[in-house]
A and B are shown apart, each in its own frame.
Chain A
Amino acid sequence: MNAPVHHQTLITPAHPKALASGQFKVTARDVDVYYGEKQAIKKLSIDIPDRAVSAFIGPSGCGKSTFLRCINRMNDTIPTCKVTGLIDVDKRDIYDPNIDVVQLRAKVGMVFQKPNPFPKSIFENVAYGPRIHGLAAGKTELDEIVEKSLRKAGLWEEAKDRLAQPGTGLSGGQQQRLCIARAIAVNPEVILMDEPCSALDPIATAKIEELIDELRQNYCIVIVTHSMQQAARVSQLTAFFHLGTLVEYGDTNEMFTAPQEKRTQDYITGRFG
């Protein structure tokens, strides 16, 4: 198996703002993932920096979503799924039996392809997490968290007069921002996004992308996307997956102008899928 290409240019000080903060938030070493007999990910190693957007691209079935879901142990819910190797978040092994998975998922939040607000009010959608995690001391504090989260998600102005109305009554793009507000409300450090715009129109997509760009000041964001243009627009780093392996990982600017691997080139230029 070919080792993935990691662009050396990443390390130079001239380049990445991505690495300005210095440390890696998520580190994976030799990760294998199986669904029953089928191996979905083979010997994957990657370092994901903090305060930057990393985009995972690749054809369907390449393992990018599978790996994304390993980062907050969402795959635990699939009985046949087996994960081996090492995945660290903040240098702590997240597959350590002693780790509290609920805490982990608060720290590593997730936004899905289809907006999935709870069938409750807008307020409750955001307040639910902080309440069960005991993050708010009282009503006022909870109100503050809800407002702050909705503001960060760029939804406050649109939602402040209808907080008691059901979240499902919002438009698709608003619902997706509500889900982002819900993820932010529990003070995550990593936000995983699995094709967050694939069900949205271009305007709603632009709003989410603008939001992602703002959020990266404070979070480590990993986004899976089928849109090459979106990866090029929102991310500082791009990882190309193919057949369960990480083929190439590096500076987005370089990946979309001069990728080093032929498979990357063929995929992003639309020569195979």
Chain B
Amino acid sequence: MSEHIVKSYDEDLSQLRTMLAQMGGLVEQQLDDAIYALTRRDTALADRVIQNDERVDVLEREIEEKAILTIARRQPVARDLREIMVAIRVSSDLERIGDLAKNTAKRTHAMSDQLPRKLLVGVTRMGRLAQVEVKNILDAYSRSDADLAMEVWRADEDLDALYNSIFRELLTYMMEDPRNISLCTHLLFGAKNMERVGDHATNIAENIYYLVHGKPLSEGRPKKDVTSGMRGDIEGSDDR
């Protein structure tokens, strides 16, 4: 897009973009570390993730302030206005992803060394998938690439499907041996966190679509998290 006649307006917008890129990078790192800490039971790393969350929150506040100031000073319209609105929304989704990373890191402390490896496999896979989603959606955002954003938006189905199968798997373990319940619950929350990360990535995707096309995405995303209706006695039945 060509430049504004008033150069400081361009600077305002580019600063906002830089801050978001910075926040995106930080959140990506937090997520990465949280998943690593959980799967390796690295409590020191987990504590670092918990501490660093403050930096994410600070960045969100700074982005919001910058956006409000830019609206007040420039009265943006059209694409500029969408750019700023989307920046505010994306930063709030990123902040939530940061929170989910922090919450996942916290659960590292509850993991014991006796945890059977097979229990971790599913959650780790979800973590990797969520990470890829976040990485791709940040790429799509920095390039204003609505097509890539839509790919991420559709790919989130895989994460939902994986979550459903992990839910069932963990349920089985818990029923097998009630001593597993505490551990499995933490893992289940971890998995749920990753599923939520994916949802925030799709929110960002919808915002990128709006930014580029100037209208909200109209089609609804198929909701594949069906666990809210699941009961313990139907595990293994796939015919829902």
Contact = CB atoms under 8 A, between A and B. Distances in A.
Interface string A240-273: 0000000000000000111100001110111111
Nearest to B3: A271
Interface in A92-143: none
B2 interface: yes
Contact of A256 (B1, B3, B78, B215): B78
Nearest to B213: A258
Nearest to B9: A270
A270 B82 contact: no
B77 A256 contact: yes
Contacts of A229: 75
A170 B3 CA distance: 43
Nearest to A255: B78
B5 A273 contact: yes
B3 A257 contact: no
Given A228-B77, A232-B77, A257 B4 contact: no
Contact of A258 (B2, B9, B76, B214): B214
Q: Helix, strand, loop or mixed for chain B's interface? A: loop
A269 B76 CA distance: 7
Interface in A181-232: 228-229, 232
Contacts of A269: 4, 76-80
Nearest to B1: A271
Contact of A257 (B5, B6, B9, B77): B77
Q: Give the one of A232, A269, A270 with max B CB within 10 A.
A: A269
27 contacts: A228-B75, A229-B75, A232-B77, A256-B81, A257-B77, A257-B78, A258-B78, A258-B79, A258-B82, A258-B214, A258-B215, A259-B78, A265-B79, A266-B2, A268-B77, A268-B78, A269-B4, A269-B78, A269-B80, A270-B5, A270-B6, A270-B9, A271-B1, A271-B3, A271-B4, A271-B5, A272-B2
